[in-house]
């Protein structure tokens, strides 16, 4: 797992435009499709077993703009 704060410039370029699934601010998975991340979040981190504020989804923007976008805490 990657720490979102620790993504290198190269990794930010690789994941540019991707949605990242984070658990405790560590990257678990990524996809260009947010629906995939929502489904994966529900499968890997069921609401009844994980605190909702530990699971987030964010988007990596171009390295020429913001590194990371907004976070979606997973609440059901």
Contact (Cβ atoms closer than 8 angstroms) between residue 57 and residue 68:
no
3 state DSSP class of 5: helix
At 60, is the secondary structure helix, strand, or coil? strand
- What residue ranges do the domains of the chain occupy? 2-73
At residue 73, does pLDDT exceed 80? Answer: no
Calculate mean pLDDT across residues 21-40.
Answer: 92
User: Quick one: pLDDT at residue 40?
Assistant: 94
Residue 66's pLDDT is what?
46
Residue 1, pLDDT score: 53
37-41 contact pairs (CB < 8 A, 24+): 41/74
At residue 19 the predicted structure's pLDDT band, cuts being 50, 70 and 90, is: very high
Supply the pTM of this predicted model: 0.72
């Amino acid at each position: 797992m990657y720490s979102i704060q620790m993504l290198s410039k190269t990794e930010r370029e690789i994941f540019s435009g991707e949605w990242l699934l984070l658990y405790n601010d560590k990257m678990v998975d990524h996809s260009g499709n947010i629906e995939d991340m929502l489904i994966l979040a529900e499968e890997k981190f069921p609401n009844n077993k994980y605190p909702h504020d530990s699971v987030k989804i964010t988007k990596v923007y171009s390295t020429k703009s913001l590194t990371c976008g907004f976070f979606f805490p997973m609440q059901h």
